[in-house]
Structure 1
Amino acid sequence: MNLFEALAAYRTMVLRHAQWLDTGTPAAHDGWRAAATAYQQARDAHRQRYGADPDLPAYNFTAADLGAQRADRDPAMAWAARALLALILAVGLLGLRGRGFGAAAARGLLLGAVRPWRVAALPAPRSRADRVLVWLVPAVVLVASRLVFTWFAAPAHLLVSLGGWALFALVVRVAVGRRDPFHLWAVVGGVALLRSVLLLAALAGRGPGGYWFAFWTAPALRAAYLTTAFAAFGWLFVATAVVLRDRYAVRRRRVVGLTLTAAGVPLGVLAGLVAVIGLERALTVWNDQLALLPWGLSRILGITVYLGIPADLAGHAAAVGAILAGVGVLLSAGRARRTAGPAPAGATTRRSGDRDRA
């Protein structure tokens, strides 16, 4: 009966947590916390009774504890997401106001997120603070938002997501060479903030637990989120191509090539890393840290086998990334129209003005 009592307490805790994720009421929160305390007491009592018994050993609560530890962080993660959203809102308001410390960086990030064709006409700031803030603020928000999304408990997920952003930024930074990168960072950083807003808005309600609860139980909301997220993902490449063409006077063929290279390098490198580690092992580490799939999957059946994931998927993805990068390098080979400095101010202004009127 001792084990059944512990399992019953665990079931009650999970259901009370789901009730709070669904309703968000104080009563549901209090019921969840009381159930969590009851589970911990029942678990500890079971371990004390059977932990030293070699004939009838204690039940393994590792999977239950992984989920419970992450659930406990949901309220704090929700508040952290709200704080980050407030920071992004402050940056946007500063960009609209156009005056004060960091205003040039904020203006660049705001335009880079929603109107990248206007970034080329922005004057380069003289303040060193603006040149630092234009990449530092998005970098901080990007790292912090992904930490919140993973309950500060999944470095494997951070390696893939943040590594992809870092490799993309590295490729496009190399593409502009010695020219002033302020406008490039304004666009890349602005889109990073835009994508972070979408994620943080989903986390601000009841943390990552609420995110995944809605993801699996609300098909219409899931479809809307995935559509918007994919559109924002594609917007990164469009906005980057626009600033490369308008501000850095890169020919269209080279713009396409550089964009393909910037997309292919992260895919090839990260997928290649997963292929070297092994897809099953990589997914196991990822799931142990995020606790999204049943903990015993990889230990009993294997995640790839259970979910029907081809074992060589990572290798194929790495090959696709290498092909994209190779095609991009071939297309971008040759000389740009200019080797230094932005496009002519008058031409840039006219193009921007035409787009605004359109």
Structure 2
Amino acid sequence: MATTAGRGILALIVAGGLLVLGAASALLVDPFARTPMVVDATTEWLARILLLFGVGWIVVGAVAARTRLVRRPGAAAARASWIASTRPWRAAESSLGLLPLDRWLMIVVPAGVLVATRVVQTPRDGLWGAALAVVGWLFFAIVVRLLLGKRSPWPIIAAVGGALVLRCVVALAVISVSGPEGIWPALWAMPVVRVLYLALAFALLAWVFVVAGWSLRPQLGRRRATGVALAGMGIAYALPAATIAVVGAGDALRSWNEQIGVLPWDLARFTGGRDGDIPAELVIGAAVAGAVVTIIGILLALPQRSRERSTL
């Protein structure tokens, strides 16, 4: 009990630290994010439908964690995702004994919510923004799977999937009130609201990788779990390097922003990204930083014996 309480306190401290870092980042971004994007009524209603689905998935998971609802089809998957994303040290435990249907749902539901959210966030790009988001997370999944080897991937699938749904719910909640008659444009005019939203968005993105590493600690140990999380995060951020070579700096920056979903949609337009005013060096620098993080993560994630042999 004491260990569980200690882990819970540590999780709260980490979450608080991420919010503080998110607030600091938000203060830097805020001057470029003063104008919100207003979506059309159709997009607004689509966001509301997706929001109900995402909230329903979270509620079912939270309720199933404490009631007999877990016996219902699909409830065990929602329960595993909820527990693993909010208490990642229990990810392995929560993913034990799942039926094939539940395992498929742990993949399909978060992936579907992510793709649908990206389509709603970037209606002008069609499926391009969603495709880039999927590619980024596929790279993350491939790196993690290779580094896991023969170990079970379900703990990290549950943790990352649940955290992604939480991120999407926050984004959808905003889009659902951003229509022609929505209240979000008025709220966005308040500096406090802008900073709080940006801080939460940054924190939720970072939390995805925190739970990824934390969920793997029982399987890999602290060092290797941290390495897997860093490697996955690095490859997800290094992906824009290839995009720059294909579509150019302006479109690459916009797509990268929409892929990771940290900043308010259409922020690139306000910072000059849509007009090609952003120097390519800035995006390339971010991609290089992602590559460096990936290399560091892989080195940490390698088994100790493999690392020793490589030095001989």
Shared fold, TM over 0.5: yes
Unaligned runs of 5+ in 2: 1-36, 65-69, 258-264, 306-312
Percent sequence identity over matched residues? 37
Residue of 265, 269, 272 corresponding to 2:242 = 272
Paired with 2:147 and 2:300, the residues of 1 have a C-alpha distance of: 13
Distance apart, 1:154 and its partner CA: 4.0
For 2:303, the equivalent position in structure 1 comes to: 334
State TM-score, norm by structure 1: 0.63
Q: 1:116 aligns with which of 85, 88, 92?
A: 88
Paired residue for 1:145, among 105, 117, 132? 117
Equivalent residues in 2 for 1:73-88 (5 A)?
74-88=40-54
Kindly report structure 1 stretches of 4+ aligned residues shifted beyond 6 Å.
284-287, 290-295
Which one has the largest radius of gyration? 1
Amino acid at match of 1:330: L
After superposition, the Cα gap between the structure-2 partners of 1:176 and 1:284, relative to the gap in structure 1 and judged at 3 Å, is: closer
* Amino acid in structure 1 at the alignment position of 2:284: G
Partner of 1:165: 137
- CA drift of 1:319 comes to 1.4
| Match status 1:202 vs 2:171 | no
Residue-by-residue CA offset, 1:5-39 (whole Å, 9 max, x unaligned): xxxxxxxxxxxxxxxxxxxxxxxxxxxxxxxxxxx
Q: Aligned partners of 1:217, 1:194: CA distance in 2, in Å?
A: 25
Query: Is residue 263 of structure 1 aligned with residue 233 of structure 2?
Result: yes
Give the corresponding residue for 1:310.
279
C-alpha contact 1:142 1:192 (8 A) present in aligned 2: yes
- 1:115 CA drift (Å): 1.6
Aligned match of 2:148: 176
Q: Letter of the 1:234 partner, please give it.
A: A
Q: Kindly tell me: are residues 239 and 152 of structure 1, through their superposed partners in 2, closer, same or farther at Cα, counting changes over 3 Å?
A: same
1:91 equivalent in alignment to 2:57 = yes
Partner of 2:12: none
Q: Which residue among 282, 289, 307 is the counterpart of 1:320?
A: 289
- Does structure 1 residue 219 correspond to structure 2 residue 230? no
Structure 1 residue 199: deviation in Å?
0.3
Give the drift of 1:140: 0.6
User: Alpha-carbon deviations, 1:113-138, whole Å to 9, x = none?
Assistant: 22212222225234210110011100
How big is the shift at 1:262? 0.7
Give secondary structure in 2 for the equivalent of 1:179. coil
Partner amino acid, structure 2, of 1:311: A
Gaps of 5+ in 1: 1-69, 337-358
- Contact 2:74–2:101 under 8 Å retained in 1: yes
Is the contact made by 1:104 and 1:125 (CA closer than 8 Å) also made in structure 2?
A: no
Report deviation, 1:231.
Answer: 0.8
Give the Cα separation in 2 of the matches to 1:284 and 1:333: 34
User: How many angstroms apart in 1 are the aligned matches of 2:199 and 2:174?
Assistant: 14
Letter in structure 2 aligned against 1:271: A
Q: 1:209 to 1:165 in 2, by over 3 A?
A: farther
Taking structure 2 as the reference length, the TM-score comes to 0.71
Does 1 or 2 have the higher relative contact order (CA < 8 Å, sep 6+)? 2
Q: How many pairs are equivalent? A: 255
Q: Is the 8 A contact 2:114 2:164 kept in 1?
A: yes
User: Distance in 1 between the 2:148 and 2:275 partners?
Assistant: 42
1:106 aligns with 2:72: no
Deviation track 1:214-268 (CA, whole Å, cap 9, x = no partner) reads 586332211100000111111111111111112xx21222122212111111222
Which of 157, 169, 172 pairs up with 1:185?
157
Letter in 1 for 2:147: A
Between the aligned partners of 2:254 and 2:176, the Cα distance in structure 1 is 28
Q: 1:120 to 1:283 in 2, by over 3 A?
A: closer
Going from structure 1 to structure 2, the CA distance change for 1:173 and 1:224 (only over 3 Å counts) comes to: same
Aligned 1:23-62 pairs, distance under 5 A: none
